[in-house]
Structures are given as structure tokens and as C-alpha cells.
Amino acid sequence: MNNSFLRVSIWVYLVIFFLYLLGPLVIMSVTAFNSSAFPRMTPWECLTFQWFGELFQDQRILNGIKNSLIIGAGTVILSVAMGLAGALMLTQIWPKLRATYYTIIIAPILIPGVVLGISTLVFWDRINRMLGLGADSFLSNGIFLTVIGQSTFIASYCMLVLVARLQRYDVALTEAALDLGATHAQAFRKILLPFMRPAIASAAVLAFLASFENYNTTTFTFGEYPTLTIELAQKVRYGITPAISALAFIIVALTVFFALLNEAKLKRQELVAAARKSATVEELAGKIKLPSFFAGNMAAVLLVVFAVATITVVGTATAYNPGQCIANVKEQKRVEAEQRIQELRKQREEQRKKREAEEVEQGGAQQSTPKPSNNSGFGNVFAPNTLGGDAEEESSDTETPPSNNGGFGGVFDPNSLQTDQ
Amino acid sequence: MSAGVGVDLENLWIRFGDFVAVRDANVNINGGDFFSFLGPSGCGKTTILRAVSGFLEPSEGKVLIGGKDMRGIGPNKRPTALIFQNLALFPLMKVWENITFSLEISGASAKERRKRADELLDMIALPDQGDKLPSELSGGQRQRVAIARALCAEPDVLLLDEPLSALDLKLRQHMRTELREIQKRVGITFIYITHDQGEALTMSDNIAVMRAGVIDQIADGKTIYNDPNTAFAASFVGENNVFRGKIKQIMGNEALISTNRSGELVARISTANQGKLAVGDDAMMFIRPEAFAIAADGVSGDHFVTARVNHEEFEGNVFNIFTEGDGGKEIKVSLPNLGQSFDDHTGQNITLEYETRNAVLVPAGELAAE
Amino acid sequence: MPGFLKEFFSRNGIGMGAAILGLVLFWTIGLIILPQLSMLDFSFRPNLPPPEIGGPKDVYTLENYKYLIYGPEGGSQSYNAVDLRVFFRTLLAAVCVTIFNLILCYPIAYYLGQSKGNHIRIFAIMLIIPYWINEILRAFALRIIFGETGVLNTLFVGLGIWDTPFDFIRNDIALYAGLGYAYILLMIFPMYNVIESLDKNQIEAARDLGAPWWRIHWRVVIPYAKPGISSGCTMVFMLSAGALAAPQILGGPSSLWFTQLIYQQFNDNNDWPQGAAYAIVLLVTCILFVLAMMRLFKVNMGDIGK
């Protein structure tokens, strides 16, 4: 009994945890389809695709994507190269230097991105000045600085990914290649590189994603070339619109798609490897009967479901016109607003009636009070859209001026007293 | 004078920091020989191989291949091919691509390479296996692929670093004969590294016995087995019984030793040590288990040993008797099974007899670890 | 040293060796060490217009560091109360976020590490996907949820649990939730890696001996997972303390994060040396704090970053 209680609570915890993790993304994605001008899920107004259209007309977003892609490509090349060199060095460095070296190349992961951005900016600015180059030189170019700044720490991530695979590499393979007449470069290209390819691919993807989503470092280095993330941050900080939700939805969908694709591919490789293992010689020489793509491959099935869903959504989007619905909602809003005004008027009316009734009851006893409740401005209350506060302000305004308009003039003003003497 | 290319090591020293891996090695390997370096792990034999193949520069001395000094020549420029201990087959290449890697480097066309691969696959008796991956082959097949890959480079010298150690016993014995046959067929020099004396004895023309960076003896298998230079060589190659003692008298090539436990015994001084031992020196006498015979009770003399039997075991082809021996070590006696009846001697004293030519005397020295 | 270099080049060849060495030197010295030293140097200099840099006024000064502690010269207060409060609040909040994440993620890491089956892979994908989404968008998602007319307020007001919308943003709840959210993966993965290698028999044995579940965790699992826990905590702490996007998007108008001060010095005040000094203070404090914690819990540096 205790055991089953524990199991249930674990599952409840898992559900809550993944709600926290995925809920925000789902809600954000859903808001991309709501016609409300503020990204919200409730109240639901109309299903619309207008935010996607708006997104693709936003020149700054498109420009940001372009810059992000350029910087991402540069960062991938630089950080994978440095990460691979760093990993190779780690496996053969002089043992006494190893710990120091490892600390240095792992440190950028822990250094706050803000600090990396600043140090990159300051350092290359100084180099630029030392070389006597102008403010528009290559070294102060936003793309160069961003690639350099991002690669500083992304290379560390790449190094970690690559060194994990490199540790399983048998140096004897390189030696065998050398022994058979290959040069060092040939051994690297024909033996080590193919072995490292899966890890290099992971490192490249990781580097690109890290570059694409980086904000802390880039915000100091981007110069004239704001990346998508920088543009997004500007937009989000100064007012949010569902167009951002639309972009988020696209990114989420792409991410899920590629995650499923990768998973399906891995699963298939596993199945193929298993099939090869059990295949006989003749089958290998000719053709092996491969299991079909979907057999035993959950991810592949999901992938197809996903693709079908996407096609359906896009199809709906082109055929669907939410104009009528939006008009309805607008109309409904107008009606609601009118109703509210009506209610307000009614309240006012009732208040007035009540007050009048009271006044009548109390008669002249109250008349000596200077409250200008009976002045002509009172009529304004009946005007639509006028709130009670306005009326009160008006009345107090009419009350205050007399205090300054007394017959004594400025006599009591201390300043005027002084000037007289 | 054979046709192949010889390898010479001249005053070869290899150091790693303060550690001396190879100490003053001098070896002449004739062209076309099957030459083995035999020694326990860590004795420096792999280091020598790496120096020959070019992965290591010697600290002092020279490596000559075909009479040419190899200093400064990288492994990819030397006429050697190395078969690694773990074979180092390229895991992502198919078998035929593995075999013809050296041709790929020299820029041969795929068709040419495929043709050569098929020839070599025929030679190693693995036809039609070229499209498999190395991981899809069995241990023995991988072994042969590694040999084919090395031979495809047409080296003058083939270096083999304990290539059989990963195989099971049956396969190992089978591969020994196969390797020897391949060597005879291609006629090039083989340098073979092993810690298995059985492999070294069955395959080699000549063997170098190594201990802690030093070469103790270079000779053919029979000489190493029957006429060892040192206590280490005597105890490392094959099973041997040791008797410690002091030399009491020298009579030409023979000597009388007063042993610690078994009284005075006579022995033949090993060839390399003749004239070098003197009366009073600490010495060790070695007698192989199969060199003993059981003598009649009560006889005694300088080629009889009397000892109490601890236990006995029947091994099939031989019958083993273990008696109390020198310094806690038992004396092992192996009697060939020729259909005679074996008496149970456990707990009794028996007398063992040997012929003087089978008792070898060397200076006292380090023994091989069990 | 030349011996090491000689061996390095004979092992990798001259060309490959030079390429590897060149890249490593460029990375370690050109991108990591020199920029940090340059920033350190810069933080000790006055803020000068470009033509005067290197001129007679360009001398070393402690002014930028003094500013953090004492505020502007001739200021009304004896201490820079505003910036100092932001600084300590940032550190304290980063610690809180780290502890929150640790408590939240430990059960998940334990469950994933000790269960077998296909669903674990799916969980792993579900964990990774949010991490692939842009940091800004993740903060944006939380802003939609925590906003005044966001999902949570609509829900709670609708259910009648409270009658006026609660301002999550002004109360920093959105910020803490966002920071915690941002670094969940960095907490889970190191812990998961370690716990996965824990032999299940150890837990079985402890259970056999009658240990209650909390004692099994306290005495068996947590000591074993210590390298992973410290690795995760270090990363989450450093990244929370150095976060910029989440505070900018989810922070209330009155509560600043220390990185925002640095950002202001750079972008709004155009006072780079001052910003560099603040960055140095943040970096050094964080490193010292992490080292102190590692000393306190007896963790080695080599365990970090696994």
C-alpha cells in the first residue's frame, strides 16, 4: 500500500513538473492563434493566423534572422574547430599542465555571459586602438565581435561533447594509418574525422542553438547587427504582441520536428544494426532485408502524425478567414461597452434621485453649507461618458479661487511687505 | 644469406624521463627471418617494436633497416607494417577498404583496390567477406584481415605486437601455424612480440629473451630452451626446477654445487658462462621436470635428489609428482605416460635421477615471476 | 617543455600539430585569458573620451570600485546603498533559485536515473525541447502566464480564489519562476548522469536493512550523487547570478538585477570602466562563493563540468 502511494505521488510529481516545463510553451504557442491583441489564452476570441502574417512582414525580425544565421554559421565553424583542437590537446597534454589547462578551457561555461561580452568588447576595442584602426574596422564589426564572444564559451560546450567521444578513440587507429603510409593530415581526415563525425554533428547543432539563443554576451557585442534574440528582447521589453507567440510557435514546432526526426533516425540505425548482425554472409553481400521504417519505431510514427498535423494546419490557414469572427467579437465588445455605459448611467440616475430625495427631506437645514451642489455644472452628469469624479473636481475648483481673491490683495504676502519698505 | 631486408639495432637506448625502457640493445635480425622478442609484460619489447616502426625516436643508438639508418624517418615513410595488439582495424570501413587502405593513400582507383582486396582475401581464406564491417567478423577472421591489410602495403618488414593474445587457445595454436606459413610464403622479415614462450618457440627462427629493458639471450628456440644464459631465461622459457647453491668444484664444462637442501649435485655449465664462473660463486642449477626419472630407493650420488612427495596429479600425457624443494618451491617431475603404472608416493621420500647434460648451471640471478 | 612540444609535433605531424596548437592558443589566450585581463585592467582606469585614452589622464585608479561602495563623490549618502542592495539581493536570489531548482529537480533526476524503459527517452526529449527554445521566448512565455491578465490570474480570479489580479511581476515571483525554469536542464543532467551509474543493488541492500526511504537518500544516494549535485548547483548559481534576459523581461520595475546595472553602465551611461569594474566584482564574488561552497561540501574542481 505504501509502495503504491509512493508510485502515485511520483507520477503526480512528474505531471506537475512537466506541466511547469512544457505548460508555458504550450500556452505561448496557443496565444499565437488568438485574435486578441495582447497574447492571452483566455478569453478566447477568434482563431486567427494574422499574427504569422504580421511576423513575416516585420523587417526587423527578418533582418535579425539573417544576422543570427550568419553569426550562427561563424560560431559553429570557429567553436567546433577550437573545441576539437582543445579536446585533442586535452588527451595528449603534458600531465602536469592538464589540470590547469582543463580549468582554463572549462571556465568560460561558468563565467557569466555578461562578463564574456564585456571582456570581448573591451579587449578587441583595445587591440583595434593599438593597431590604430578606425571605429569601422573589421575588429569592431558586430558580427566579428559576436562570433568571437560567443565562441569563447560555446567552444567549451563543443569540447565537452567531443572529448567524450574522443576518449573512446583508439590512438592505435591513427598509428595504423600512419604505419600504412598516410600523412598526419590524411590520417586525421580519413580515420579520426569519420570517427568523430557523430560527435561533431552534435557539437555543431549544440553550437548553433547556443549561438542562436544567446542574449547575455551578444547584447554587448552586436553593434550594427542585432540578432533575432536581440530583436526579440527589444520587442518583449517594450510591449508584447502575439506576433512573438507566432514566432515562438514556429520555433517550438521546428524543435519538436527535429527532435522526433533525430529520434526516429537513431531508432532506425539501431534496428538496421540489429538486422545486420543477424544477417548471413550472402545477405550482406547482396541485399539485406531491412525492417520497414515504422516497425517498432514510435518516434517515426509520431513524426508522421506531426507532419500530417502541420499540413492540416497550413491548409486550414490558407482557406480560413477569421474576418467574420473578428467582426463578431468587435461587435460583441462594442455591445458590452455600451452595456457598461448604460449601467453606469443607470447607477448615476439612481444616486441622483436618492440625493434629491434626501435633500427634499432635510429641507433648508442644509442650505447654509457652501457646497455648490446646486450649481449649473451639475447638469454635466447626464452627459454620456462623464464620470462622477469629474463633477466633484469641478465643484472643488469653483470653491477654491475665492480664497485668493479676498479684498486684502497681497498685503499678507511677506515679499511684498519687504519691497514696500 | 636470405633475400629479405634485415633489421639491426645498435646500442639502442630508450628512456622515458628517468625510466629506462630499453638498455643498450644490440640485435641483428637477418632478412627473411621470423624473429621474436620474448619477455614478460613491461620488459620493453613493445617499446623496441615502436622504435623500429618509427613511433618512437631512440634516446641513443640506431635502428637500421636494410642497413639504412632510420633516424628522422616517420612511420609512414618506413618499409615496415605493424600489426597492433588490438589489431586497430578501422571500424567504419568495410573489410576490403581496410585491407587496401595503403593503396587508397597512394591514390589507386577503387577498381584496382577492389581487385587487390579480393586477391588478399583469397590468400587469407576469407573470400566474399569484403563487404562486411570488421565488427561483423569473428576474432580469427579479424586477425587475418589485419595481416592482409599489413601485407597489402608490401612492407619489407612485418612487425607483430602480440596479435594472438586476444584469441582463445585453440585458435591461437591454429594461427601460429598459419602465421608461419604466411611468412614462408611472402618471404619477408617478421618481427614478433610475445610473452608466450610457446608461440615464440614454435614459430621463430630466432628469439631474443628480454627482462626489464635488457636482452638476456638471442638464439634459436632449441638453444634458448636447452642452454639458457641466465637464471631469468631458464625460468621464463618453459617450466624449470631451480636448485640454489655455491660452486664447490669446477671440472672443465661441469661443476659440483653444494645446494641448500639437496646436498652436492653435478651440473653442466651453460655455454655462455663457461670459463666465467669460479669456485665459491653463488649459482643456480635448472633441471626440467621431464628430465627426471625415478631411481631405485637407497641409491645416492651427485646426480640423485631425494625429496618427500607432497602431492601427485595425472594430466593425461604426463604424470606429475610434486616434491618438497628449495625455498618453498616445489620440485616438479613429469613422467611421460607410456602405459606404465604409477605408484602413489604421497608422503613418502623418493629418489630422482637426472643426466648431467640436462642440468644447466647459470650464475645466481633474478627468476621470472610465476 | 621543448621535449613535450617535440613529442607533440612528432605525434601529430608539423602541419596538424601547428593547427591544433594554434587554435588552442588562440582560444585559451586570445579569447579567454587576455580579454579577462584586459577587462581587469580597464576597470582600474577612469572613464575618458577616446582621444584621451593613453594620455596623461589615463592612470590607474580605484575610483570605479569605490563607486560601488561609497556612491558618487559628494553624494548625500555615505554608502552606495542602491547598488549594494541590488548586488546582495542578486546573490541571495541566485542562491534561492539554486536551492529551489535542486529540490525541484532531485526527484526527477533520481526517477530518470533509476528507471528503465522507453518512456525515459521520451522524458529526456521533453526535458531537452524547452532548452532548445530561445531564452527570451521562454521568459516571454512566463510573462504571458504571470501577467496581470495572464492565465494564472484569469484562472484564480475566475475560480474566485482571490478577487483582484495578483501582481506576480512586481512581487518577483515571475522572475524567480523564470530563472528556475531557465536552468532546469543544467541541474538535472549532471545529477542524472551520476545517479544513473549508481548500482541499484546498493539501494536494494539499504532497503533490505530496513532503512526508510528518506534515510536511503540521505545516506546512499545523495553522497553518491554529490559530484553531480555540486556540478548542477554551480552552473545554476553562476548562470542565475549572471542572468540578464530573465530579469529584464520578468523583473518588476523597481527591482533590478546586478547584471542590469552593468548593462546600464555600458549602454545607458556609456561608462565602460565602471561597467567593467562591476563585472569584475560579480565574477570574483561568484567564483569565491562557489569555491567556498565547494570547500564547505568537500567537492573537487575536477567534478565540475562532467
Summarised one tens digit per residue, pLDDT across range B20-47 is 999 999 999 998 899 999 999 888 889 9
Which structural domain, as residue segments, surrounds residue C38? 1-43
With CB atoms and an 8 Å threshold, state whether A236 touches C143: yes
Tally the domains of chain A: 3
Does residue C78 sit in the same domain as residue C31?
no
Higher confidence at residue C215 or residue A173? A173
Which chain A residues have a beta carbon less than 8 Å from that of C251? none
User: Is A63 part of the contact surface with chain C (CB cutoff 8 Å)?
Assistant: no
Looking at the structure, give the CATH architecture of the domain made up of residues B7-226.
3-Layer(aba) Sandwich (3.40)
Does residue C5 sit in the same domain as residue C84?
no
User: Is B344 part of the contact surface with chain A (CB cutoff 8 Å)?
Assistant: no
In a domain, C49, yes or no: no
pLDDT at A417: 39
Of C24, C35, C137, the CB nearest to A86: C24
Confidence class for position C39, pLDDT limits 50, 70, 90: confident
User: Is A236 part of the contact surface with chain C (CB cutoff 8 Å)?
Assistant: yes
With CB atoms and an 8 Å threshold, state whether B105 touches A175: no
With CB atoms and an 8 Å threshold, state whether C111 touches A31: no
State the burial class of residue C17 (Cβ atoms within 10 Å of its Cβ: 0-12, 13-18, 19+): middle
Does residue A267 sit in the same domain as residue A135?
no
Confidence class for position A70, pLDDT limits 50, 70, 90: very high
Does residue A143 sit in the same domain as residue A275?
no
pLDDT at A292: 57
Range in A182-186, A209-213, C79-83, C142-146 with the lowest mean pLDDT: C79-83
Of C11, C38, C239, the CB nearest to A92: C11
Tally the domains of chain C: 2
Of A10, A94, A256, the CB nearest to C129: A256
Does residue A250 sit in the same domain as residue A383?
no
Helices of type H across A279-322: 281-285, 298-319
Name the residue ranges covered by the structural domains of chain B: 7-226, 239-363
Which structural domain, as residue segments, surrounds residue A336? 321-358+377-390
Element (H, E) at A344: helix A323-362
Q: Which of residues 44-73 of B touch A (CB under 8 A)?
A: 53-55
Is the separation of the CB atoms in A75 and A154 below 8 Å? yes
Of C16, C130, C305, the CB nearest to A109: C305
pLDDT at A213: 85
In a domain, A112, yes or no: yes
Q: Identify the CA nearest to B80 among candidates B175, B176, B179, B6.
A: B6
Whether pLDDT at A144 is above 80? yes
User: Is B114 part of the contact surface with chain A (CB cutoff 8 Å)?
Assistant: no
With CB atoms and an 8 Å threshold, state whether B153 touches A180: yes
Does residue A201 sit in the same domain as residue A230?
yes
In a domain, A335, yes or no: yes
Chain C's closest residue to A26, CA to CA, is C141
Q: Characterize B309-337 residue by residue with b for buried, 16 or more Cβ atoms within 10 angstroms of its Cβ, and e for exposed.
A: beebeeeeeebebbbebbeeebbbbbbee
Within a 10 A sphere around the Cβ of B294, how many other Cβ atoms? Answer: 15
Rounded to the nearest angstrom, the minimum Cα separation between A340 and chain C is: 19
Summarised one tens digit per residue, pLDDT across range A192-232 is 999 999 999 989 988 998 898 888 899 888 888 898 888 88
pLDDT at A396: 39
Cα A21-A24-A30 angle, rounded to 5 deg: 135
Which chain B residues have a beta carbon less than 8 Å from that of A179? 53-54, 75-76, 80-82, 153
Summarised one tens digit per residue, pLDDT across range A355-377 is 888 777 765 554 444 444 444 44
Rounded to the nearest angstrom, the minimum Cα separation between A198 and chain B is: 12
Higher confidence at residue B34 or residue C77? B34
Does residue A304 sit in the same domain as residue A327?
no
pLDDT at A412: 40
Does residue C188 sit in the same domain as residue C100?
yes
Q: What distance, in Å, lies between the first and last C-alpha atoms of chain A?
A: 100
Does residue A138 sit in the same domain as residue A207?
yes
Which chain A residues have a beta carbon less than 8 Å from that of C238? 110-112
Of B76, B136, B150, the CB nearest to A182: B76
With CB atoms and an 8 Å threshold, state whether C181 touches A20: yes
Does residue C76 sit in the same domain as residue C155?
yes
Does residue A101 sit in the same domain as residue A112?
yes
pLDDT at A224: 85
Does residue C147 sit in the same domain as residue C233?
yes
pLDDT at B223: 92
Rounded to the nearest angstrom, the minimum Cα separation between A268 and chain B is: 18
In a domain, C180, yes or no: yes
Q: Strands across the sheet with B80-83, in order?
A: B80-83, B157-161, B189-194, B34-38, B206-211, B214-219
Does residue C39 sit in the same domain as residue C64?
no
User: Is A4 part of the contact surface with chain C (CB cutoff 8 Å)?
Assistant: no
Which chain A residues have a beta carbon less than 8 Å from that of C137? 28, 232, 244, 247-248, 251
Does residue A189 sit in the same domain as residue A223?
yes
pLDDT at A371: 44
pLDDT at A405: 40
Does residue A220 sit in the same domain as residue A142?
yes
The ipTM (two decimal places) reads 0.84
Which chain C residues have a beta carbon less than 8 Å from that of A251? 133-134, 137
Of B92, B106, B128, the CB nearest to A181: B106
Does residue A161 sit in the same domain as residue A252?
no
Is the separation of the CB atoms in B113 and B93 below 8 Å? no
Domain B239-363 sits in CATH at 2.40.50.100
Query: Fold match between B7-226 and B239-363?
Result: no
Does residue A226 sit in the same domain as residue A271?
no
The residue of B86, B96, B101 whose CB has the most chain A CBs within 10 angstroms, and thus the best one to mutate to test that interface, is B101
What pTM value is reported for the model? Answer: 0.78
Does residue C246 sit in the same domain as residue C122?
yes
Q: Which of residues 63-122 of A touch B (CB under 8 A)?
A: none
In a domain, C50, yes or no: no
Per-residue pLDDT of chain B (370 residues; tens, 9 = 90+): 346 889 999 999 999 888 999 999 999 999 889 999 999 988 888 999 999 998 888 999 999 999 889 888 888 889 999 999 888 999 999 999 999 999 998 888 999 999 999 999 988 888 888 898 998 888 888 988 999 999 998 899 999 998 888 788 888 888 888 888 888 888 899 999 999 888 899 889 999 999 988 999 999 999 999 999 999 999 998 889 999 999 999 988 899 998 887 888 999 999 988 888 889 899 999 999 999 988 877 777 788 888 888 888 888 888 899 988 766 678 899 998 888 877 788 888 888 899 999 999 999 988 887 6
Please give the C-alpha separations between residue B370 and each of B40, B238, B239, B329, in angstroms, as whole numbers.
10, 11, 10, 11
Rounded to the nearest angstrom, the minimum Cα separation between C187 and chain A is: 13
The set of chains that have 3 or more CB pairs under 8 A with A is B, C
With CB atoms and an 8 Å threshold, state whether C282 touches A114: yes
pLDDT at A72: 94
Please provide the average confidence, as pLDDT, over all residues in chain C. Answer: 80
Whether pLDDT at C82 is above 90? no
What would the mean pLDDT of C100-125 be, rounded to a whole number?
Answer: 82
Q: Which domain CATH number covers C148?
A: 1.10.3720.10
Q: Which domain CATH number covers A184?
A: 1.10.3720.10
Does residue A246 sit in the same domain as residue A232?
no
With CB atoms and an 8 Å threshold, state whether A180 touches B92: no
Confidence class for position A277, pLDDT limits 50, 70, 90: low
Of A179, A186, A285, the CB nearest to B131: A285
3-class secondary-structure state, position A180: coil
Per DSSP, C33 falls in state I
Does residue C65 sit in the same domain as residue C185?
yes
Of A13, A17, A104, the CB nearest to C28: A104
Rounded to the nearest angstrom, the minimum Cα separation between B23 and chain A is: 25
User: Is B86 part of the contact surface with chain A (CB cutoff 8 Å)?
Assistant: yes
